Chain A
Amino acid sequence: MKKYIVVILALVMVLSFSTIAMAEAVEISFWTLNSRQDGVEPIVAAFNESQDEVKVTVSFFDTDGIKDACKIAASSNTLPNIWFNWGGSLGGFYADNGLTYNFNDYAAANNWDKKFSSSALSLCTFDGKLSGYPTSYNVLGVYYRKDIFEKYGIQVPTTFEEFEQVCATLKENGITPISTAGLYGWHVMRLVELLIEHYAGAEAHDSMNTFQTSYDNEAVIKALTKYQEFVEKGYLPDGFVTADPNDTNMAVFSGTAAMDIQGQWYDGTIVQNEQDMSKFGVFAFPSGGTNRMSAFAEMVEFNVNNTEAQIDAGLKFLDYYHSAENIEKYGAYYNLPLPVVDPVYPEGLPNVPIMIGLAEANGTFTITDQAFPTEIADALFNVQDAIANGEMQPAEGATKIQAAIEAYHSK
């Protein structure tokens, strides 16, 4: 009898060990944008099927939803293992509060300086700590409808005055010059920051965005006055103040608007929406000087509470996610090119190399909502709304932005 008991116990022990061995797959939770869902889902499914060591569970959020979800999760200590984020002040919040894994040692040991572009690494570094795996480096320019420009004999503008003339010609012909939407403020901000760049110049603009110079100055007032003029002349769509920025492409695709300030990812949007790519071109907004373009980085941040196994699992997944094979298959769902040294430009997205080339030649500045903390960015967005609705004059707007900066820093 005793022999049987020993055998049974031994069998139970072996089975227990084998179950443990089977259950050893490291589980990784991953939060990302729903605009990439059609690409991310099959990639995650293929990754989970291709091996037994790592199991990735993915959740999707819209652009503003992921910002809120991460903030809520951070305050309740329930952040996922890895999550998509932007560089600048948005991703910096988690790094500043010690919630992200510091990749400094890992990056040094694995030669990330030879793998990733220095500009992307720099935008993912906060207070000397590399706080994320860089996934893209984006630059914003003006996408325009070539066919509409040709129809009305319009040349790509090379000066700000020419740009204004383009807007006037389009408006005269019943076309809304610039498609934009202000529901969350950041899409309209893309125009406003370029107007500030035009009137302030590169050096002063950088100085204002790092809070070394007051926003309450003549250049900002002139920029806001020009923005007001654009609104009054109907260069922006009716009711744009509360329109959803995800819908700006509808007006451009349908031909009721001719231009949209977008990043190089817009080529992917054109493909996803089955539009004729040959109708679209890009140019750098002629803000003056070298016509700098706004830029921002995207990354995947890692939870500081991850175990070594989870960090390795997360990196293994991200390397797979960014493999050449997946990029070829799902190119429209990445913000290509990858932020790597000597990036490979995808086929079928012809404006991407043009935009990256323009950014390299012209130089860039950090996009305002990543340069500003959210609270100050929202003050700018309120000023944009108020000026558009005629509730505020530009001079008051400049004062309000500076007041918000001072209030934030005096907290």
Chain B
Amino acid sequence: MKAKTKIDWGAYLFLVPALIIYLSVIILPICYSFFISLTKWNGIGDMNFVWLENYKTLFTKDPIFLTSLKNNLIWTALTICITMPVSLGFAVMLNNRFKGRTFFRGFFYFPCVIAPIAVSIIWRWIYNPNVGFINQFFKAIGSDFSQTWISDPQVSLYAIFFAALWAGVGQPMILFLAGLQTLPVEVLEAATIDGASGIKRFFSITVPLLKETFVIVLATLIIAALKVFDIVQGLTSGGPNNATQMLSTYMYSQTFKYSNVGTGTAISCVMVLVMLIVIVPYVIFTAKED
């Protein structure tokens, strides 16, 4: 005889507060934002429903939006190819036992605690073509090399990225360091006894064992790269001539400077969509492997 399963409806009541919060601060704002993106609205007056017109305009008639999208993708690629390996490299180095290890851990993590807008002010002075540290350094060593850095549209995006790298490498480094410290020492020792070289040990044992850390680091880095805002806004405000415009800075301009709230919200919806397109397959892929 099949036992009758009794549903404890009372238990579900305990989920209600969390559900209300989740609905009111996540689901409803997302739905409302999507609705706004389908309108023409200045943020104050009446909303005019225009269906997908804002999206159509962005993708077909707005070169600044396409530049922003391209810049975000470049920034994401740079983050994956540079920020992640650099932070892993620092983590591996700082995982070794040596004198002053604690100092260096703090030293490399320290830029992370500086407010991004302060980072942008610091780097604006470092990049200043007339009195900035870099050009002055070249001058001091007798070199004629001089660069306008963030004012040069060919260089500005990479110059900002370098500033962001300086400020942001500490966070993934700490995550990698935490991951490295959980690795079973006996496995690494066994590999050493079996004659595996340092590089072989790193790629064949350390990296595979850090897979879960990689998932977290990569996901957070990609999300941060796609919504990068403050350091760009502080250093160039998206200029010169939109050379460093990002989806977030352009969304901000459309929404709060130009009062094109519908267009600005459409950009933010595209940002979310791009993030989902990049993150979801990656997470599904790694989950399947597990």
Contacts and interface: CB of A to CB of B under 8 A. Distances in A.
A391 B156 CA distance: 14
Contact of B240 (A99, A242, A251): A242
A374 B253 CA distance: 10
B44 interface: yes
B72 interface: no
Interface stretch (B7-15, B143-151, B165-173): B143-151
Interface in B121-140: 124, 127-130
B11 to A, nearest CB: 38
Given A68-B256, A68-B257, A239 B241 contact: no
Contacts of B44: 74-75, 97, 99
B235 A242 contact: yes
B256 A244 contact: no
B259 interface: yes
A183 B238 CA distance: 9
Contacts of A375: 257-258, 260
Interface in A36-64: none
Given A71-B43, A74-B43, A183-B236, A374 B128 contact: no
Contacts of B241: 382-383, 385-386, 389, 391-392
Interface string A261-281: 000000000000000000000
Interface in A337-395: 373-375, 378, 381-383, 385-386, 388-389, 391-392
Interface in B27-71: 40, 42-45
A389 B151 contact: yes
B242 interface: yes
A230 interface: no
Given A75-B44, A239-B130, A242-B235, A391 B153 contact: yes
B192 to A, nearest CB: 51
Contacts of A386: 240-241
Interface in B100-137: 124, 127-130
Interface in B241-290: 241-242, 252-253, 256-261
A71 B153 contact: no
Contacts of A184: 237
A93 interface: yes
B239 interface: yes
A256 B130 contact: yes
A184 B42 CA distance: 22
A290 to B, nearest CB: 34
Given A184-B237, A385-B241, A389-B241, A239 B42 contact: no
A240 interface: yes
Interface string A200-242: 0000000000000000000000000000000000000111111
A71 B240 contact: no
A186 to B, nearest CB: 12
A397 to B, nearest CB: 10
A275 to B, nearest CB: 18
Contacts of B236: 183, 242
A246 to B, nearest CB: 11
B42 A97 contact: yes
A389 B154 CA distance: 10
Nearest to B129: A239
Contacts of A99: 44
A54 to B, nearest CB: 28
B212 interface: no
Interface string A71-92: 1101100000000000000000
A242 B259 contact: no
Contacts of A185: 239
B152 interface: yes
Nearest to B148: A239
A243 interface: yes
Contacts of B43: 71, 74-75
A182 interface: yes
A183 B239 contact: yes
Contact of A239 (B151, B153, B256, B257): B151
Contacts of A97: 42, 44-45
A71 B256 contact: yes
B256 A241 contact: no
Nearest to B245: A382
A129 interface: no
B151 A241 contact: yes
A171 interface: no
A172 to B, nearest CB: 18
Interface in A172-205: 182-185
A146 interface: no
Contact of B148 (A238, A251, A378, A411): A238
A258 to B, nearest CB: 15
B245 to A, nearest CB: 10
A143 B151 CA distance: 25
Contacts of B153: 389, 391
A244 B127 CA distance: 12
A290 B146 CA distance: 42
| Residue with the highest number of chain B CB atoms closer than 10 Å, among A97, A239, A243, A388 | A239
A251 B256 CA distance: 32
A243 B132 CA distance: 12
16 contacts: A67-B257, A72-B256, A97-B42, A183-B239, A185-B239, A238-B148, A239-B150, A240-B151, A374-B257, A374-B258, A375-B258, A378-B253, A378-B258, A383-B241, A388-B240, A389-B241
Interface of B: 40, 42-45, 124, 127-130, 146, 148-153, 156, 235-237, 239-242, 252-253, 256-261
Given A74-B43, A239-B149, 13 more contacts: A68-B252, A71-B256, A97-B42, A237-B129, A239-B150, A242-B150, A242-B151, A242-B239, A373-B258, A385-B240, A389-B240, A392-B241, A411-B40
Top-3 shortest CB links A-B: A75-B43, A239-B129, A385-B240
